[in-house]
Each structure stands twice: as structure tokens, then as C-alpha cells.
Amino acid sequence: MLSQADNELLTRSGKGTPMGELLRRFWMPALLSAELSERDGPPRKIKLLGEDLIAFRTSDGRVGIVEPHCPHRGAGLYYGRNEECGLRCAFHGWKFDVDGNCVDLPTSPPESNYKDTIKLLAYPTREWGDMIWVYMGPKDRMPELPQLEIGLVPTASRYVTKKWQDCNWVQSVEGALDTAHFSFLHAVLAKDEATARAALAKAAIADQSKPDDRIRWIHNDPRPRFTIHGHDAGLLIGAARKTDSADLYWRISQFLMPNHAYTPTAFPGEIYYGQCWVPVDDLTCWIYTYCWQPDRPFSNAERVKFDGGFNVHAEVDANYVPLRNLSNDYLIDRKVQKTDTFTGIEGVSEQDAAIQDSMGPIQDRRREHLGLTDVGVVEFRKLLMGAARALGNGEEPKAAQTASRYAVRAGGWVAAPDKNLDAVMTERFGHRRGYVGGQYGLGD
Ligand code: FES
Ligand SMILES: [Fe+2]
């Protein structure tokens, strides 16, 4: 349970709010590279952290993300001409480069230095991991890009997309960190083999075309025991369930400051999944969903399958809005819900979205009653709210300065019951916090 004041602190991301300022100390995905692929192509309207912005790709391939109104008399730069390495206002032709410098001011005499005094608000951008990233904080605090493994593997070994969500970003992150819900929300009820297989292939765990031990263990033990450790970039969240023997089945996720989370499923050789939540405003967000395979390229068949949704990736339209969404009740099928799956909604992503959106645009956390399996959510809030408060007191977030420590993995493992999370991580990943940066020359 949170007080109203704490709920506001946690969920509001506008400029000048404590959480908004914390988020602005980190790089954020602003667009997929594919959304702005054309040099001198049309500018795009975007909205991030409550700020309306314009994105454009120049003749030399650089990306600008700038305020939407021309500093001359406020015309919308969206209607401008994107030409010769800058965006030219359609009203009187003032032109700006990606850094917000006014590079041409044709309404002033050529000898005037008036244009040197004109500046358009422009945020630094980077392109990395098939995404365009933006930094919206103070320039003198700009960190390195977080070294997430999705950006370290070759292009052929990753797949990145995004999806719209109709709720505040925080409750959606909390949904990802609460891995206990897998025993219910994503459960398959069908008893006959063929229906169960079909439901699993569509709705339950990515890459599973048939029931396996892990699914049975998840369903048989709805009370995983959590162990959580902090590290330089965020939180390691381990949940141990019973198996058929004395061994424990561990599902281990990562939360990476301030808005990334990795799923806990992958065994060695399987696909790793991550998500990054970027507030559009306080009531909606984009979720960048990505997966990677460090050992090999993805096949075309796999890419087609990712496009079809049914896992972390949703099935989306051309504007990245999920086909099954709030406006159509996620196409819930009550007959399927009675007999085949716990929700009657197709797709893991869509099942998550339905439940997260259903809490209301911003969950009223004054009314919640947390239990033992919510410990990941509690630790996440403590970390985030603590960092926002500390920043308000002048203490910069450490995670922003430790870019290399984002090179971690999350996943699953079966281990002897006497092994603690450190030992399980070492067995599974060769490092007690799942760090793999050494493989990419980022140091030990
Ligand atoms: S309003 Fe943009 S050039 Fe005049
Ligand atoms: Fe889920």
C-alpha cells in the first residue's frame, strides 16, 4: 500500500516532478530506427514523458529530436521542410540543425548575427540496438548508453519492436517483476494434449510447442519463494518453485534502472527477452520489446513468428497498437476462458496488458493489499522512489554512471535445494549477478 503522495511520486513523470527528473537522467528509447529510416523524410510527432517533440533524420543520417514550435513565431515545425541537414520552418524559412542551432535565417540581412542568438530546444540522440535513444536531462549529466546485451549482439541476432499500452508505465513494470502471476494469468487449463499444445503454442511460453516440466512446475507451485539482490544497475529477482524432485526451479528476472526488465524464462540456448517502458504521458506508455540470441542469428521463420505476437511481443498494427487492446476488451473469449486458458485472451503480452490496464490508468495503490509474492514489486518501488528522493536532495543516481553493468542476463535454471541465488546465478551464468560484459570487452 502506498500513500497518495507516494503514488504520485512513483507514477508522475512530467518535467519538474521527482520521478520525471530521475527518468531524465537516463537514455530513453524514443523511436524504433525503422520508424525514421528515411533521410530527409517527413518529420514525426512524438511524445515522451509528457513532452511533445519532433523527430527527423537529416541528409547525413543523423537524428534530431527537438521542441515542436519554431522560436520565431511559434509555427509547428512538423510542417517544415527536412532538407540539406536541417529542418526548415515552413512559415518564414528559419532552419535548424539536429543540435538546435539556427543555421539559416533568411528574413535577416546576411551580415546580421541574429541567428547566432536563436536556439531551438534539442535533445541529444543516439542510435543503438535498432532504436533511437534520447537523453532529456541536463547536458552536463549525460551518461553513456546502458550496455544492454540487445545492443551488443550483431543485428542478425536481435529483434526489436514496440507496443502501445493504455496505462501508467509503473504498473506495467510491476506486472513484469511480479513473476508469481505466471501460475495464473498465463495458465493453460485444457487437459487434452492437442488443445493444451495449441493453447501453449499460442498463449503461454514463447518457443514452447508442447507442455514441458517447467510449465507443470509453475502451475503446481503458486507460491514461489523470492530472493532479491541489488546491484549497480538495478535488481536481481529470483523466484524458486518446487519441482518433481528435491531440486528447485528458479525463474530469475532483472530490473535495470530506471525502466527495463528482463523475463525469467530462458534456459541456455533459448531466446532472451527484455522490455523497456517509456511514458508517453502519465496515462499511457510505449513498451519497447526486444529479444536476442547471443549464440546465433535469428532465422526468417523466427522473425515471422515474433511479428505474429503471442509472447513478449504483441500482435500490433502498423502504428504499433496491439490488435487485442482495451478498446475491444482484448477480444476475450469467455468459452475459451471456461475450458482452455485462464483468461480466454490470446497472447502472453495481451494477457499482461489486459490486467495492467484494468487497474485503471494509474493504479490506486492506497487500496492494494500486498503479500509475500509481491516482494519484487516492493523492492522495485523502494529503489525507484529512493533514487527520485535522493536526486531531489542532490544525489545523482549511481546506475546512470555504470553503463557497462547493464550487460546482464536473466533466465531459468534447476538447482539443488541448498544453493542460494548467488550460487544458482554462478551456475547458470558464470557470475552471481548475471554479468556477461566480459564477453563484450566491457571488463570484469
Ligand atoms: S515561425 Fe518559423 S520561421 Fe517564422
Ligand atoms: Fe505476465
pLDDT at 130: 98
Distance 83 CA to ligand 1 centre (A): 16
Q: What atom in ligand 1 is closest to the CA of residue 89?
A: 2
Residue 227 is part of a domain; what is its CATH number?
A: 3.90.380.10
**Ligand 1 close to Cβ of residue 75 (< 6 A):** yes
Answer yes or no: do 285 and 254 share one domain. yes
Please identify every stretch of the chain with a pLDDT value under 50, giving residue numbers as ranges.
204-210
Answer yes or no: do 198 and 126 share one domain. no
Answer yes or no: do 320 and 419 share one domain. yes
C-beta of residue 19 within 8 angstroms of C-beta of residue 9: yes
Residue from 77, 94, 104 whose mutation best tests the ligand 1 pocket (most atoms within 8 A of CB): 94
Answer yes or no: do 215 and 173 share one domain. yes
Answer yes or no: do 136 and 216 share one domain. no
Would you say residue 162 lies in a domain?
yes
Domain end, chosen from 99, 120, 141, is at: 141
Residue from 70, 87, 108, 118 whose mutation best tests the ligand 1 pocket (most atoms within 8 A of CB): 70
Would you say residue 202 lies in a domain?
yes
Collapsing DSSP to helix, strand or coil, 67 comes out as coil
Residue 93 is part of a domain; what is its CATH number?
A: 2.102.10.10
C-beta of residue 28 within 8 angstroms of C-beta of residue 48: yes
Answer yes or no: do 40 and 88 share one domain. yes
Which secondary-structure segment (H or E) carries 290?
Answer: strand 285-292
Would you say residue 3 lies in a domain?
no
Answer yes or no: do 430 and 312 share one domain. yes
Answer yes or no: do 220 and 86 share one domain. no
pLDDT at 203: 53
Which residue, judged by its Cα, is nearest atom 1 of ligand 1?
A: 73
Answer yes or no: do 164 and 228 share one domain. yes
pLDDT at 209: 45
pLDDT in tens, 186-198: 998 877 777 777 7
Would you say residue 194 lies in a domain?
yes
**Ligand 1 close to Cβ of residue 135 (< 6 A):** no
Domain end, chosen from 107, 141, 175, is at: 141
For ligand 2, a single-atom ion, which residues have Cβ within 5 Å?
352
Would you say residue 73 lies in a domain?
yes
Would you say residue 22 lies in a domain?
no
Q: What atom in ligand 1 is closest to the CA of residue 75?
A: 1
Answer yes or no: do 118 and 222 share one domain. no
Other C-beta atoms lying within 10 Å of the C-beta of residue 109: 7
- Per DSSP, 408 falls in state B
Would you say residue 124 lies in a domain?
yes
C-beta of residue 444 within 8 angstroms of C-beta of residue 438: yes
Other C-beta atoms lying within 10 Å of the C-beta of residue 76: 16
User: Range of 312's domain?
Assistant: 149-440
Answer yes or no: do 319 and 426 share one domain. yes
- The closest ligand to the CA of 180 turns out to be 2
Q: What atom in ligand 1 is closest to the CA of residue 73?
A: 1
The domain tally of the chain equals 2
Query: Against a cut of 0.75, is the pTM above it?
Result: yes
Answer yes or no: do 385 and 293 share one domain. yes
Would you say residue 2 lies in a domain?
no
**Range 314-317, long-range pairs (CB < 8 A, 24+ positions):** 314/163, 314/289, 314/347, 314/349, 314/350, 314/353, 315/347, 315/349, 315/350, 316/161, 316/162, 316/163, 316/164
CA end-to-end distance (rounded Å), the chain: 39
Residue from 67, 73, 79, 81 whose mutation best tests the ligand 1 pocket (most atoms within 8 A of CB): 73
Domain end, chosen from 141, 159, 175, is at: 141
**Ligand 1 close to Cβ of residue 119 (< 6 A):** no
